[in-house]
Amino acid sequence: MKKFLFLLVALMLVLVGCTMTNPSLRDTWLNAVNQTSSEAKLTLSADVNVDGMNLTNEQKKIAELFEAGFVIEQKAQDEQNAYVKITANNDKPLRDLGVWTSKEKAAAEMLVKENVMYFKTSADPFFFKVDMDEMNDQDFNMQSQYELQKKVMEFMKGEFKSYISQFNYEIPKLQDLGFKTIETPAGKEDVLKVKYELGINEVLDFAEYTVDNLANYDRLDVFVKEFAGFMPAEIQPTEAELTTAVTEAKTQLGQFKTTLGGMTKESLEAMIGKDIDFKIATEVGISKKKYIASEDTVINIGIKDPATGKSGSAVIKATSLVWNVNGNVKLPEVKDAVNVTEYEKDLNKVRSLSDDTPLKKLFMQEFNASFTIGETFAMLGSDFKELDAAPYIKDGSTMVPVAVIGEWLDSDTKWDGKTNQVTMKIKDTEIKLTLGSKEAYVNGNKVIMHTAAESVNGRTFVPVAFIAKELGAKSDYNSETQEVKIYFE
The pLDDT value recorded for residue 245 is 86
- Residue span(s) of the chain under CATH 3.30.457.10 come to 367-487
Phi, psi (rounded to 5 degrees) for 407: -70, -40
pLDDT along the chain (489 residues), means of 10: 44 44 66 85 88 75 91 92 96 92 94 91 92 59 64 80 82 89 93 92 90 88 84 83 88 90 91 92 90 93 88 92 93 88 80 87 85 90 86 88 80 85 84 90 91 87 84 84 86
CA distance 46 to 69: 7
Distances (CA, A) of 52 to 56, 59, 162, 277, 311: 12, 13, 48, 18, 8
Name residue 338's beta-bridge partners. 128
The pLDDT value recorded for residue 143 is 53
The pLDDT value recorded for residue 359 is 87
| pTM given for the model | 0.78
CA distance 485 to 410: 18
CA distance 281 to 196: 6
CATH topology of domain 367-487: Copper Amine Oxidase; Chain A, domain 1 (3.30.457)
Name residue 70's beta-bridge partners. 44, 88
CA distance 352 to 329: 36
Q: Which residues contact 146 (CB under 8 A, 6 or more apart)?
A: 115, 132
